[in-house]
Amino acid sequence: MRDADSTIIEPKTGWARLNIGELWRFKGLFYFLAWRDVKVKYRQTAIGILWAILQPTLGMLLFTAIFSRLARMPSDNAPYPVFVFLGLLPWNYFATVLGQSTTSLVGGANLITKIYFPRLIIPVSSAMAALLDLFIASSVLGVLMYFYGIRPGASIVLVLPLLILTLMNAIGFGLWLSALNVRYRDVQYAVPFLIQIWMFATPVVYPGTVIGGKWRLVLLLNPMTGVIEAMRASVLGHMAIPWGGLAVSALSGFLVFLSGLLYFKRVERYFADVI
């Protein structure tokens, strides 16, 4: 008998350790759960994965019609469709992850009460699955930029770290919300409103520059502001990278991810009992 295979089960006190080795052993499950979410998402639809393109495109057209044509919203001198699409890409991803991870644990209640595996895999894999939609929707951005004759500069290399930042914020908030929702189902009803309000407190459909006064502070403290403005700056190169906002996003991403992880690990022991 190999001692490495020994498992000791006893009541845990204090902070649960994050068992990296165990997460590594279950790495296949991250993949399979994400793969399941992707497979299932567009099952029994006529146009399938095209929805991943259609949804942000229709959003872009709608916002262009309302904000650009009707409301004459400025867009930092960039073509509004490209401008808003660059906001929608990270925002939609962030909002999808928030919404999906909130209900992910409760939706997986039958797994949680019947099978042991690191519970972290559930919300994290749902965040991974949503990445596919983001990548597919990015192709529309390419088409738009070609159409408007926008050539990305060297700063486009920032997109990957920005994506990681979005991911950290999304997963961090997702861990908090999913764990809270296990005990308080109120969370799943509040989150859709939270997402709506949050979207309008984020420069998705408008440029951050139009907000002044005391609301400017709200905008700056919002971790998605820095990500989205930096995303636009890095792709369009129409303005300087907003390093200040980015620092807020990075700090928030780090803190929310870490505290979310701690909170999740601390309360996961009762998931099976109260879910």
Partner 1 sequence: MKPIIEVNNLSKRYSIGRRQSYGSLREEVSDAFSRPFRRIFSSSAGKAEAKEDTVWAIKDVSFNVAEGEIVGIIGRNGAGKSTLLKILSRITEPTEGRVVMRGRVASLLEVGTGFHPELTGRENIFLNGALLGMTGAEIKARFDGIVEFSEIDKFLDTPVKRYSSGMYVRLAFAVAAHLEPEILIVDEVLAVGDAAFQRKCLGKMSEAARGGRTVLFVSHNMGAVQRLCERAIVMHNGNVLKDSFVESAVASYLNISHENIGGRDDLYGIKRDSNEFSNIKFSKCHVLDSEGKVNVSLKYGEPFTVLLEAVSTTTHEDISLVVAADSITGVRVFTTVSEDFGVLYRAVPGEPLRAEVHFDKLVLTPGCYVLSIAIRSGKVGLDTLMNIIGFEVTAQAFGNITPHSGTFGLVSVDSEWRPPKSIVF
**Binding site residues, partner 1, CB under 8 A:** 1, 3, 5-15, 25-26, 28-29, 31-33, 35-36, 39-40, 43-44, 110-117, 180, 183-184, 186, 262-263, 266-267, 269-270, 272-274
Instruction: Identify which of residues 3 and 149 has a Cβ nearer to partner 1 in the complex.
Output: 3
In the complex, least distance from residue 266 CB atom to partner 1, rounded to whole angstroms: 5
DSSP state of 65: I
| Identity of residue 243 | W
In the complex, least distance from residue 214 CB atom to partner 1, rounded to whole angstroms: 26
Instruction: Identify which of residues 137 and 179 has a Cβ nearer to partner 1 in the complex.
Output: 179
Cβ within 8 Å of residue 74, ≥6 positions away? 206, 207, 209, 210
In the complex, least distance from residue 38 CB atom to partner 1, rounded to whole angstroms: 11
In the complex, least distance from residue 130 CB atom to partner 1, rounded to whole angstroms: 17
In the complex, least distance from residue 183 CB atom to partner 1, rounded to whole angstroms: 7
Closest CA to 150 of 52, 58, 77, 228: 77
218: tokens are 């709200």
219: tokens are 């905008």
Instruction: Identify which of residues 13 and 72 has a Cβ nearer to partner 1 in the complex.
Output: 13
Instruction: Identify which of residues 203 and 260 has a Cβ nearer to partner 1 in the complex.
Output: 260
Query: Sign of torsion, CA 224 229 234 236?
Result: positive
In the complex, least distance from residue 201 CB atom to partner 1, rounded to whole angstroms: 22
Instruction: Identify which of residues 178 and 202 has a Cβ nearer to partner 1 in the complex.
Output: 178
In the complex, least distance from residue 110 CB atom to partner 1, rounded to whole angstroms: 6
Instruction: Identify which of residues 28 and 212 has a Cβ nearer to partner 1 in the complex.
Output: 28
Residues belonging to the chain? 275
* Phi, psi (rounded to 5 degrees) for 192: -55, -40
Instruction: Identify which of residues 31 and 135 has a Cβ nearer to partner 1 in the complex.
Output: 31
Instruction: Identify which of residues 184 and 243 has a Cβ nearer to partner 1 in the complex.
Output: 184
Q: How far apart are CA 20 and CA 18, in angstroms?
A: 6
CA 272 remoteness from chain centre = 26
In the complex, least distance from residue 26 CB atom to partner 1, rounded to whole angstroms: 7
Closest CA to 231 of 134, 117, 146: 134
Closest CA to 63 of 50, 48, 77, 75: 75
174-189 burial: b if 16+ Cβ within 10 Å, else e? bbbbbbbbbeeeebbe
Cβ within 8 Å of residue 38, ≥6 positions away? 129, 132
